[in-house]
Amino acid sequence: MDLKLLKKKIYEEEKIETLLDSLNCENIKLEQSGNLIVAQLPDGDNKRSIQIKNNENLTANIRSKGISGNIFSVIGYILYNATTFEEVRENLYQIIQYICNTLDYELEYFNEEPEEKKTDWNWFLRDVQKDRKKDFKLNDIPINKVLDENIINQYIPILHQKWYNNGINFKTRKMFDIGYDLKSERIIFSVHDKYGELIGIKGRSINDQEEKKYIYLYPCFKSIELFNYHRAYDFIQKTKRVYIFEGAKTTMFATQWGYPNCVSIEGDDISPVQVYLLKKLGIDIELYFLFDSGKDIKFIKQQINQIKNRKIKVFKQDNGLLNIKNKESPVDLGKETFIKLLNEYMIRI
């Protein structure tokens, strides 16, 4: 991936300030006759903490945090609290996708390799050359490994009493490959990629007091997928609407109750790649974000600020149905309450 080309495009199109604004940075302004852009970190108090050189390299510093690098370092810190070169590199694919989402760039445009490659005969010296500054390279794009479908057969295909009591029925058990793992004593279900290939197995503890309620028995990169996407896609295109939840179990209930056009982000924060997948559904698709209760409007707006030119709805937090303190999901109080939430408390944002 040609990151130099990406930085050059940001510079030439004067998009540095747009990116900083999307990250909720404040006091963004030009200094040194336009050669330097400074800004304040979100919730920070230093008005010149962020400093980005206005040239093709986009060299940057976050002075108040002692962070040096380039614009990727700034975004990495704000989005992922990445403070080192290695931590930024670990999140680099998401950082790049965030930039593309925000600026309406096509990621594929930057996948082309430069026409000429020069052999670096002094590669072994690079780590000890103090005068040469590190730059980021993206060689490995995260891809989820496809698992053998027979892996699911090592688990008992039963509906545990706990989830049966919660309201999950046997048809839903079969649809989502819900089962039970004797070894870890967890309820399990399968995780698929956008093409429907098996990529992971997730387990839920039957003990609500356990610190880690959910773990992956077969891990995958959850942030580059949307749970249930492969099942929901045709229903989304038919209804022109997608319901986006935080957790897989919420998706199971919604599907069981007649709302199969739903996906989950499998966490509290939506990732840039997940935003990209939602945008690729089509400009005519309505996006209904149903985060768990207790999320303030600032958090919600920050989650969806990469999505442009789409119809977006969220539910009113002060709806009187869900307990904000208990952080209830939209399905926790049953089908009738869920339907009432959809019909009476969704607002455009």
Give pLDDT, residue 131.
42
> How many whole angstroms separate alpha carbon 72 and alpha carbon 104?
17
∠228-234-238 over CA atoms, to 5°? 125
Give pLDDT, residue 111.
73
∠10-15-21 over CA atoms, to 5°? 135
CB 6: neighbour CB atoms within 10 A?
A: 22
* Domains of the chain (ranges, CATH numbers): 3-112 (no CATH), 149-220 (3.90.980.10), 229-348 (3.40.1360.10)
Give pLDDT, residue 109.
80
Split the chain (349 residues) into runs of 10 and give each run's mean pLDDT. Answer: 91 97 95 96 94 96 95 96 94 95 88 54 47 66 94 97 97 98 97 97 93 94 97 98 97 98 95 95 96 84 85 89 86 95 92
Give pLDDT, residue 134.
63
Give pLDDT, residue 326.
79
Q: Are 160 and 181 in contact (CB under 8 A)?
A: no
Residue with tokens 């963004």: 28
Give pLDDT, residue 120.
56
> How many whole angstroms separate alpha carbon 97 and alpha carbon 302?
16
Give pLDDT, residue 2.
86
∠58-61-62 over CA atoms, to 5°? 135
The three-state DSSP-derived secondary structure of the chain is CCHHHHHHHHHHCCCHHHHHHHCCCEEEEEEHHHCEEEEECCCCCCCCCEEEECCCCCEEEEHHHCEEEEHHHHHHHHHHCCCCHHHHHHCHHHHHHHHHHHHCCCHHHHCCCCCCCCCCCCHHHHHHCCCCCCCCCCCCCCCCCCCCHHHHHHCECCCCHHHHHHCCCHHHHHHCCCEEECCCCEEEEEEECCCCCEEEEEEEECCCCCCCCEEEEECCCHHHCCECHHHHHHHHHHHCEEEEECCHHHHHHHHHCCCCCEEECCCCCCCHHHHHHHHCCCCCCEEEECCCCCCCHHHHHHHHCCCCCCCEEEECCCCCCCCCCCCCCCCCCCHHHHHHHHHHCEEEC
Give pLDDT, residue 133.
53
Give pLDDT, residue 113.
55
Give pLDDT, residue 271.
95
Q: Name the residue type at position 334.
A: G
- pTM score of the predicted model: 0.87
